[in-house]
Copies of this chain bind each other. A is one copy, B any other.
């Protein structure tokens, strides 16, 4: 089951969040995440740090993948090499990156198992929806016992960006507007439910909410704007 879902993703080639690039002849969106140094370790699969809620949500959605309505997104800690060049050609406004690249890791996968961002994403192509199940580890603390607002913002950016990228290709965040309603306890599993609301030219409008695993508590809400990147075109 798990393999067949991953295979479906490769045919789509969505890449944000460190997804493995598809086989064949990759376009720009696929090359963004391609690298010889990609780890074989898929970080979106359950590990011993996952709590009961996160495991249950994962299993429920893996079942939904069986009829093809939902697709599981694998996720890797990658180190970029050639793909940096691909990216810089897309951002006319960007300065060249520097010597730190050899150590670079995807922010949301840069912690050891269980300490930081534990998450898995699924998407529903027909409904333009991406859902993320996220458990924030002890290194993501803000106020004592609760997630840092920046950690929630990070997973929101990652989920909304995935929705936008599946819709139009390589994108960059232009605006995030996040309303925090209640603090999220460290170690609890939450559901980030996102959908593409509108596409206008290169602009993609995406929104989401963050709820408890039982969906009864709304922790956070967000709207966003992403810009599709195209060679030679400005970001603004």
Contacts and interface: CB of A to CB of B under 8 A. Distances in A.
Total copies of this chain within the assembly: 2
Contacts of A105: 138-139, 141
A100 B118 CA distance: 14
A209 to B, nearest CB: 14
Contact of A108 (B93, B103, B104, B150): B150
Give the interface size class of chain A: 35 or more
A140 interface: yes
Contacts of A47: none
A50 interface: no
Nearest to A158: B150
A107 B141 contact: yes
Interface in A96-150: 96-108, 110-111, 115-116, 137-146, 148-150
Interface of A: 32, 80, 83-84, 86-88, 91, 93-108, 110-111, 115-116, 137-146, 148-151, 153-158, 161, 172-183, 185-188, 217, 235-236
